[in-house]
Structure 1
Amino acid sequence: MAAFFLGLNANAARMDMVDVSNNNGYMSTAEYVSMRNEFGVKAVTVKISEGGTYKDPYAASSIANVQAAGMYINGYHFARYATKTQAIAEADFAGKTAKAVGLPVGAVLATDVEAEEQNNQSKATNDRNNAAFMQEIQKFGYRADIYTSGSWANNKMTIKDRTGWIAAYPYVVSGKNWYSTNHAWQWSSTAKFRISYGGFDVSQLNSNYYTAGQKSTVKPTNKAAVKANNKHIYKPSNSAKWVKESKTYTLKTAVKLHTGASTSSDTITILTAGTTVKTDQAIIQGGYRWVRQPRFNGYGYLATGPSSNTLEYVKSGTTHTYYTVKYGDSWWAIAQRNGLSMTTLASQNGKSIYTIIYPGQRLVVR
């Protein structure tokens, strides 16, 4: 591949950790060595299991090859639990599977909490279930943590400071570490590496939790590639401008109306789900797409969602863009092609990433 992605200049988030799963297929030791030497990746977190029956078929080879490349290794389990009993059962399944595929004692085995099962639970229930999973997983000698999205953290579940691995994908990755008080911030799901195919999830580490309390001396060696690709990928952070937008939105969930286009600005009111909002301008800044609502005494500002998914909180009155499923397509392939996460693509079509799609189906991609 002639072109590849890097995030190692002074203004961009670091590529400290990569997470891989069956979506990435078989990953060789050479690929991990390239990530380590050319891109500065220190740690890899491998999908181990999902729910109560699924075992990732590439977990064992990835763990062995990451270790052969001299990198820190961790694992994660994609949670499907909705009750405490299910959480404990899934933790037992994940722990036994991790042992079988060679995840070393002392590694992190995080619970990935972002599925429909948890979306349908209260915050208190999710907190109880997550605590049960993490307590059980420690019995296998693994350290516990929670992975979830920024929009779920402290809304759908509690993520305390100095814990957590949070996913949020800004429009421009520069200047600000969004989740500096958490262990890790996953800031992209589409990173590319020189000798590896496809897009990867990459994270910046804010503590040594995912490197087993040890200090890594790994540094990138391909400085020219770093410079060239940062120039290609990143846009100036001051490029955001207000543009005219006369649209009507209907809120899918409750959203705060702010005095300015910033999450730190004062809250005027909380608009309930189903509220209709008419806008006159829009802007992408601070990791969100903001719209301006004319009011009788000025303006109100609300985020339509993170800039990587600008209609997460609202339904647009405008016409959608559709994609027709072809033979060989998958949720992952369609999501990557349209700059979305699989979860987002599925949810905006009223499905989950485990729903079977068929050639000829039309999916909303914008």
Structure 2
Amino acid sequence: MNKIKFFVKTIITITVVVSLSMLLHKVSANSIPAITAGTSGLPKTDVVDISSNNGEVSINDFQKMRNYGIKGVVVKLTEEKTYRNPYAAKQIANARAAGMVVGAYHYSWYTTTASANAEAKYFTDYASSLNLPKDTLMVNDLEDTYTKQNNVTANAIAFNAQVKAAGYSNTVIYTYPSYVNETKLDFSYIGTNRVWMAQYPYAPSANDLWNTIYGMWQWNSNTSFPGVEGTFDVTVDYKNLLVPKTQTNSTDGTYFETVNGKVYYYENGTQYINRFYSNWGKMY
């Protein structure tokens, strides 16, 4: 998702400002290791999140990601009340065609309960126009410095309530530890199982998992998948918030999965919901 920004304030000279900015950028980039999916000994790669920066992302690309464990994709839909991801419809369609479970996120800028309500409505309006089902995982991406207000919890509560009022009950909040520490963001309104925490260890390891008290942990933002252009944020889904709880595969690539009590059946790139099919000699 949108990464933590660095701000340098100085009154010395423009040259010093530029030099400091370049140094901070270099330190930031070096602090997040470049990861290649499939490398042994790493945390799971259950989920990726994408935005317009990733372009359309083809069905073939998503299928390659599936080979490395990716089962869910969270697509950026909106930001503030002025931006809609123009690739969202195609990204969603391609992810589904590759057999992925799709969620959506909004990058928040709100500073009051009124603006939180307005941004949440902007988010759900676009989700509805894209025909996203009401059980779609809907994420409040709360990380921007601009949002760090004394009333940050009240604003987050208002955003969450408005999303649910639009019929989208499957809500999650995304943030990072220093944001929580600085703002005293309180998760009691949504529960720790509904928190998606971003924190990037310099040496990630499957034997040293972080943030296990939360629903999901985004553990790297610089992961490449062989054969796929660009790098991606990767997440382990501890509480199965997005990835299927049950999945059965056949030899011909047709499969079904159960998520939040609904049966999703995939055949030839088409997703069917709560319908019964005779396949492999059995009824599902």
Please tell me whether residue 168 in structure 1 is matched to residue 196 in structure 2: no
1:12 is matched with which residue? 42
Residue number among 212, 223, 235 corresponding to 1:203 in the alignment: 235
Structure with larger Rg = 1
Q: Are 2:101 and 1:101 equivalent residues in the alignment?
A: no
The Cα shift of 1:185 comes to 0.4
Are 2:105 and 2:138, in contact at CA under 8 Å, matched by a contact in 1?
yes
Distance in 1, Cα, partners of 2:176 & 2:63 = 29
Which SS does the other structure have where 1:26 is aligned?
Answer: coil
Structure 2 letter corresponding to 1:166: M
| SS of residue in 2 equivalent to 1:152 | helix
In structure 2, the CA distance between the partners of 1:161 and 1:4, relative to structure 1 (3 Å rule), is: closer
Match for 1:137: what amino acid? Answer: V
Identify the structure with the greater helix proportion.
2
CA RMSD of the aligned region, Å? 1.9
Opposite residue 66 of structure 1, the aligned amino acid is A
4+ long deviations beyond 4 Å: none
- Contact (CA 8 Å) 1:168, 1:187: kept in 2 or not? yes
Contact 1:8 1:14 (C-alpha < 8 Å) held by counterparts: no
**Contact 1:77/1:111 (<8 A) preserved:** yes
Higher RCO (CA-CA < 8 Å; seq separation 6+): 2
- The within-5 A match list for 1:135-146 is 135-142=161-168, 143-146=170-173
Distance in 2 separating the partners of 1:103 and 1:93:
14
- Does structure 2 retain, via aligned residues, the 8 Å contact 1:17–1:42? yes
Identity of aligned residues (%): 35
Structure 1: tracts of 5 or more residues without a match: 219-366
Q: What residue ranges of structure 2 are gaps of 5+ in the alignment?
A: 1-33, 250-284
Distance 1:111 1:23 in 2: 19
Q: Look up the match of 1:361.
A: none
- Indicate the residue corresponding to 1:149 in structure 2: 176
State whether residues 64 and 102 of structure 1, in contact with CA within 8 Å, keep that contact through their aligned partners in structure 2.
no
Residue 167 of structure 2 aligns with an amino acid whose one-letter code is G
Contact kept in structure 2, 1:63 and 1:103, CA below 8 Å: no
Report the alpha carbon displacement of residue 195 of structure 1 after superposing the two structures with TM. 2.3
The TM-score, its normalising length taken from structure 1, stands at 0.55
Q: Which residue of 1 aligns with 2:186?
A: 158
SS of the residue corresponding to residue 96 of structure 2 reads helix
Q: 2:153 corresponds to which residue?
A: 127
2-side partners of 1:16 and 1:71: how far apart?
10
Once the two structures are superposed, what CA deviation does each residue of 1:175-234 show, in whole Å capped at 9, x if it has no partner? 2211111111001111001222111001011011123x632458xxxxxxxxxxxxxxxx
What is the number of equivalent residue pairs in this alignment?
A: 210
The residue identity in structure 2 corresponding to 1:128 is A
Amino acid at match of 1:145: V
